[in-house]
Chains A and B, each alone.
Chain A
């Protein structure tokens, strides 16, 4: 079964600091990869996705992620965070075969940005 690890449970940054959130997955075959964001009190929203092609993926609100197949990683980055980026971030990977419609989520990383 697919598994997803997010290394940081809670990250606290000052505004304008750079952000990198780690995500590692277990399945070594062809993968689609997602990052979702959950703002306080809201539902999950798609931040960005990787299906194939350029391993550097651009998402909304200045976020990007890099797929490194050899490291089974899909880390999320932003050069300069804002207070409005305070949220919880989830990495997700579909299953394989018959389970490919299901998403396996990491446990999430809570980001707190201090003005």
Chain B
């Protein structure tokens, strides 16, 4: 079965460090998304991609970057981790705007 896999599931790191969260999907979807989930805010879009070499900023993109070198992967990088970036991060993919997004299991990131 097709799936979307995030790694690691949990990570603890220190402020100022660079952190990369992986997202790999086998749905062959062109569209991929990164969200962060925080209490009281729901899910907020960080970055998204409509295909290889395409990346776009979302609502809360400051301090984050993504790259899309193939269809399957959209890694999320925190250039210099800050405590405000402690959150649960979800990756998602979809084939088209008329179809629901499929979500990964999330990465719980703690920045101390």
Contacts and interface: CB of A to CB of B under 8 A. Distances in A.
Given A32-B97, A101-B48, A106 B103 contact: no
B105 A42 contact: yes
Output the residue of A43, A106, A107 with the most chain B CB within 10 A: A43
A5 B40 CA distance: 12
A101 B50 contact: yes
Interface stretch (A13-21, A44-52, A68-76): A44-52
A32 B97 CA distance: 9
Interface residues of A, number: 21
Give the bracket for the number of chain B residues in contact with chain A. Answer: 20 to 34
Q: Is the interface of B mostly helix, strand, loop or mixed?
A: strand
Interface in A82-115: 90, 94, 100-108
Nearest to A106: B42
B112 interface: no
B98 A45 contact: no
Nearest 4 pairs of A and B residues by beta carbon? A107-B42, A100-B97, A43-B103, A105-B43
Interface of B: 31, 33, 35, 40-45, 48, 50, 58, 90, 92, 94, 96-98, 100-101, 103-106
